[in-house]
């Protein structure tokens, strides 16, 4: 019996509750291993300008790897027309070159990246005799045409690559790439990075001297940007992507649409932002206590179980109440230490404030809390 079949239409003459089997040998739901592949969630904001270094800046879970190769605006783009929009996608991730670097040095590089936890990758059966293929699909658009490449990197220093072609400028095009199975190098079953998907956008000669591996083998920098897209060579250049889906097997099934609430909760395992610019900046605070006039301990609770102990950043205005006489307003207080962390919450120590009364209970105001933002980051 074949391990994979494609079903275009299912009809039942008996009961509407007859079982429906997957086209990929797995569940009909949760096929897509990519979180926020339709780019709808952007907790940090919808635009970030002047970016020159690596990070996750706008669309949740979508990272830029960047080293000394121009300056960029990153944005969550709203779609109103085109093939991706007609396929049901209303948002995209876009990178726009604002300062060019037409002659990057040997070690300069620019990549679009997505990273997955090893413990979520069991469906691929990597490292076993029953290993399965990796099928990746996405919509892509650029002002440039030509050949680009995508590589998969595992946590055993192994990698494989594929190319794709953008045929028409400024036109959304759908791409499907199927990468071979790998019977070597099982993913670690933990919360660290097990797999990284990398779209090459530009790089120097250190990343261009090798051969793109058609099958899984030893990882090396020298093939990471062989099909160099040269996005940095002109300020007119941009590149956008949406509809990313990664699934086990050789069949690219229709994009798995999940509710915004489910997608947001999945994103919050890696980043949770409190405060919408108008209120709620301190709503993460469950309780706290001032230990001096200029500092306090604060207990926090996150919306979902975090991947790891978060790093915490407080920016803008925060309002904390002592529930006795005073609401204290501060701007960008400092996280001095992060002394404790539990499964879904923890305690942080805040300094750079004033006017507190030692020993008084402190709390955040859900309906108030200030106009700033608190960002808890647990990215891979």
Tokens at 302, concatenated: 């996150």
**287 and 250 housed in the same domain:** no
Q: What is the pLDDT of residues 284-319, one digit of tens each?
A: 998 899 999 999 999 999 999 999 999 999 999 999
Cα angle 147, 222, 215; round to 5: 70
What are the residue ranges in the chain where pLDDT is below 50?
A: 1-22
Render pLDDT for 24-77 as a digit per residue (tens, 0 to 9).
555 578 899 999 999 999 999 999 999 999 999 999 999 999 999 999 999 999
- Print the domain residue range for 227: 47-259
Tell me which residue of 224, 216, 155 sits closest to 187, measured CA to CA.
155
Let me know whether 121 and 177 are in one domain: yes
Residue 64 falls inside a structural domain: yes
The reply to whether 95 and 150 lie within a common domain is yes
The answer to whether residue 19 is domain-embedded is no
Out of 208, 225, 259, pick the residue that ends a domain. 259
242 and 275 in a single domain? The answer is no
Q: Which residues make Cβ contacts (< 8 Å) with residue 142, sequence separation at least 6? A: 166, 169, 170, 229, 231, 237, 238, 239, 240
Per-residue pLDDT at 341: 75
Identify whether residues 221 and 165 lie together within a single domain.
yes
Final residue in a domain of this structure, among 259, 290, 317: 259
The answer to whether residue 30 sits within a structural domain is: no
**Same domain, yes or no: 66 and 94:** yes
* Number of domains making up the chain: 2
**Does 40 map to a domain?**
no
Residue 55 lies in a domain: yes
For the record, the structure tokens of 346 come out as 């923890």
Q: Each residue of 145-165: pLDDT tens digit?
A: 999 999 999 999 999 999 999
Q: What is the pLDDT of residue 26?
A: 55
Short-list 96, 112, 193, CA closest to 148: 112
């Amino acid at each position: 019996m074949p391990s994979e079949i494609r079903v275009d239409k299912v009809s039942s003459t008996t009961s509407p509750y007859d079982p429906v089997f997957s086209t990929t040998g797995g569940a009909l739901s949760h096929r897509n291993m990519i979180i926020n592949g339709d780019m709808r969630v952007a907790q940090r904001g919808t635009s970030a300008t002047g970016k020159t270094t690596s990070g996750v800046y706008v669309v949740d879970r979508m990272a830029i790897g960047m080293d000394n190769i121009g300056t960029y605006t990153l944005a969550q783009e709203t779609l109103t027309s085109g093939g991706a929009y007609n396929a049901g996608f209303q948002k995209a991730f876009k990178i726009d070159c604002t300062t060019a670097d037409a002659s990057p040095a040997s070690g300069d590089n620019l990549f679009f990246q997505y990273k997955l936890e090893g413990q979520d990758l069991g469906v691929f059966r990597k490292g076993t005799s029953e290993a399965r293929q990796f099928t990746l699909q996405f919509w892509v658009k650029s002002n440039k045409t030509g050949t680009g490449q995508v590589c998969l990197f595992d946590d055993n220093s192994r990698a494989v690559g594929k190319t794709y072609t953008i045929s028409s400028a400024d036109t959304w095009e759908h791409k499907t790439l199927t990468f071979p199975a790998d019977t070597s190098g099982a993913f670690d079953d933990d919360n660290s990075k097990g797999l990284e998907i990398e779209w090459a956008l530009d790089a120097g000669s250190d990343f261009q001297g090798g051969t793109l591996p058609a099958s899984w083998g030893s990882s090396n920098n020298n093939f990471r940007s062989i099909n160099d897209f040269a996005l940095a060579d002109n300020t007119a250049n941009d590149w956008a992507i949406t509809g990313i889906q990664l699934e086990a097997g050789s069949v690219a099934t229709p994009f798995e649409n999940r509710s915004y609430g489910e997608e947001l909760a999945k994103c919050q395992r890696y980043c949770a932002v409190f405060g919408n610019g108008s209120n709620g900046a301190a709503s993460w605070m469950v309780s706290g206590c001032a230990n001096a006039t200029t500092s306090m301990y604060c207990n926090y609770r996150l919306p979902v179980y975090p991947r790891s102990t978060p790093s915490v950043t407080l920016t803008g205005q925060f309002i904390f109440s002592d529930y006795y006489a005073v609401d204290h307003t501060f701007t960008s207080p400092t996280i001095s230490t992060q002394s404790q962390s539990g499964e879904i919450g923890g305690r942080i120590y805040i300094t750079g404030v004033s006017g507190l009364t030692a020993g008084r209970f402190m709390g955040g105001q859900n309906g108030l809390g200030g106009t700033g933002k608190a960002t808890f980051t647990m990215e891979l």
